[in-house]
A and B are shown apart, each in its own frame.
Chain A
């Protein structure tokens, strides 16, 4: 008995030692915690089954920690990460710095041309693709059809901010806990500033002009922020200065918001009966315009989460194999088979929006595609930077967050709109001088 136990132990030991001999490559993927990524983690066994020589190791981290980890790793050539998730903000900056490997071996059947052109261009530098999108979003106006009907309102095909203000007033019924409009208020470059940057564009204003001069005291920003604070104070929920995407999602899902302008991904949550109390009462409209000649027809928001290979990775080939799988059409089919078409990561492939099954399961499909297709983030003659709701320059993160705090102060009433914008202008000017964009 003792002998056989020893033999078994020895055999298992040999088996353990023998396993790595089959040259298995382990890929470490650094990612942020969002629902589509969690779903991808659950589906990786399918990939490993198809590619027995590759093993996937997931590391989920908070966004800022992940960014710091990966930049340290790239700068020192540590090679800790083979794939990472980055946003459309980082891709142009990092590609330019030479921190990312170009994705040139995604395979013949990857069908790169199927990627939605706006997204494809957002992820390319000098004609080469540097990141592959697995999820993308634009901006939408979500509204409650039942409340509109009750107030005798019809959502126009192309709403204006004047109409939104009028509708917010009519829908609001604070005694019943219904607020006409819910918008982001939590400070942060990816929180309230994503919405406000987009809203300022709807009033024709950018973060910086052609000479990199900050524009926070321009007419467009003044109009946008004044209206934002006015609407939210009169018709918004209490404590809005601490509401981010998630908080508004909960409020809207509980039937407390009449209208909500935010990332198009919200649509899939508020129409899901498991997560929302108003799944069949939600209508989708385009983003409103504040001026007659509104750039991008009001759709001034384009964001995607992408998979990219940091330059320090030593397993580039296997990494490209995984990226090709995770952003392929087959992956979308796999998600549909497991969790249903409504849960398929949206916004990346044109073919998805031609799939009748998807269009049937996702009532927001057309509106989302429309929002993404209209959003053109390329630099123009009066906007020297890449991006719409953000500016893809390394300095923007700091500026955005500091200005976001000023906006939250204006929203909560601790400063006036004029003071907040003046302060924002001063902060941004100082940072742009430090960055060498402006002369001191």
Chain B
């Protein structure tokens, strides 16, 4: 009896999981399909699903109009650069807060998160002025710093929760064996927190890759990433959905593939320590 209930439950949960999965995936699927349609098919009512004349024309037009590789390389530089910089600052910070907390630690953590609560546009003009003054407009360095700063609270928070799960006694043992602070972090803490660090890296890369406010406002051409590549295909004569979809597919393809291959790592990291 109990068994049959559990099978029913299993079937129910499977159907539910699949429906939710498909629901979330559908916009990407639809963008994918639209990118192979003609402009007329893209806006036809009723919509056509797969029964249309598949064409690569949109991808061809996009290639001739725009230098995709330039934008993609910038996206890679920006997301990796800001992530590496973020880890350099966040690992020691999270270590300190996780293993030698003070009574103000919780407040500091909250204060860091509170910087995420201000709408980005609120500081656009000050940041823009700073960029003008330091000659950082349209430079990768400037944008890496900004992306690093806006994601830093999230990285610190994530790493902090992972580090909290690691028993302090192990670190103490390392210290007993004569490990210094650097050795302790690099050789003892880091290896144990690999799943956590990996998922932090992935999440941060994804966030930086998709960041569209600062990247659009602080770059023109030299440092412009894929967000600007997509924006350039929006036209005042109305949206050409098929071409926009093709541009979007090209923009999300690299991160989608990376995400696909590392999903195990990502899920493991995100649920790390959730079940004890």
**Which positions in A face B, CB cutoff 8 Å?**
28, 30, 32-35, 38, 57-63, 65, 68-69, 72-73, 75-81, 186, 190-191, 238-239, 244-247, 249-250, 253-254
CB nearest neighbor in B for A266: B237
Is the Cβ of A254 less than 8 Å from the Cβ of B220? Answer: no
CB nearest neighbor in A for B243: A33
* Smallest CB separation, B222 vs chain A (Å): 9
In Å, the complex CA distance between A197 and B221 comes to 37
* Smallest CB separation, B39 vs chain A (Å): 6
In Å, the complex CA distance between A92 and B261 comes to 54
In Å, the complex CA distance between A65 and B229 comes to 13
Is the Cβ of A254 less than 8 Å from the Cβ of B132? Answer: no
Is the Cβ of A62 less than 8 Å from the Cβ of B234? Answer: yes
Total residues of chain B contacting the partner, CB 8 A: 30
In Å, the complex CA distance between A59 and B216 comes to 11
Q: Using A57-B221, A59-B224 as known contacts, say yes or no to A65 and B236 having CB atoms under 8 A apart.
A: no
B residues near A65, Cβ cutoff 8 Å? 216, 231
In Å, the complex CA distance between A191 and B237 comes to 9
CB nearest neighbor in B for A312: B132
Secondary structure class of chain A's binding surface, majority of residues = mixed
Is the Cβ of B239 less than 8 Å from the Cβ of A246? Answer: yes
* Smallest CB separation, B146 vs chain A (Å): 15
A residues near B220, Cβ cutoff 8 Å? 28, 30, 57, 59, 69, 80-81
Is the Cβ of B128 less than 8 Å from the Cβ of A76? Answer: yes
Partner of A32, one of B43, B235, B239: B235
Is the Cβ of B236 less than 8 Å from the Cβ of A190? Answer: yes
A residues near B236, Cβ cutoff 8 Å? 32-34, 63, 190
**Which positions in B face A, CB cutoff 8 Å?**
39-40, 43, 45, 65-66, 124-125, 128-129, 131-132, 137-138, 216-217, 220-221, 224, 228, 231-240
CB nearest neighbor in B for A78: B132
Is the Cβ of B239 less than 8 Å from the Cβ of A33? Answer: no
Known A-B contacts: A33-B232, A38-B65, A249-B238. Give 17 more (CB < 8 A).
A28-B220, A34-B236, A57-B221, A59-B220, A59-B232, A61-B216, A62-B231, A65-B231, A72-B124, A76-B132, A78-B132, A78-B137, A190-B236, A238-B45, A244-B238, A246-B238, A253-B40
In Å, the complex CA distance between A28 and B234 comes to 19
B residues near A68, Cβ cutoff 8 Å? 217
CB nearest neighbor in B for A275: B39
* A-B residue pairs in contact (CB < 8 Å), sample of 10: A30-B220, A34-B237, A57-B220, A72-B217, A73-B128, A190-B236, A191-B238, A238-B45, A244-B238, A247-B238
Is the Cβ of B137 less than 8 Å from the Cβ of A80? Answer: yes
The 4 nearest A-B residue pairs measured at CB: A246-B238, A60-B232, A62-B234, A244-B238
CB nearest neighbor in B for A63: B236
Is the Cβ of B39 less than 8 Å from the Cβ of A246? Answer: yes
In Å, the complex CA distance between A30 and B224 comes to 13
In Å, the complex CA distance between A103 and B153 comes to 48
B residues near A80, Cβ cutoff 8 Å? 137-138, 220
B residues near A61, Cβ cutoff 8 Å? 216, 228, 231-232
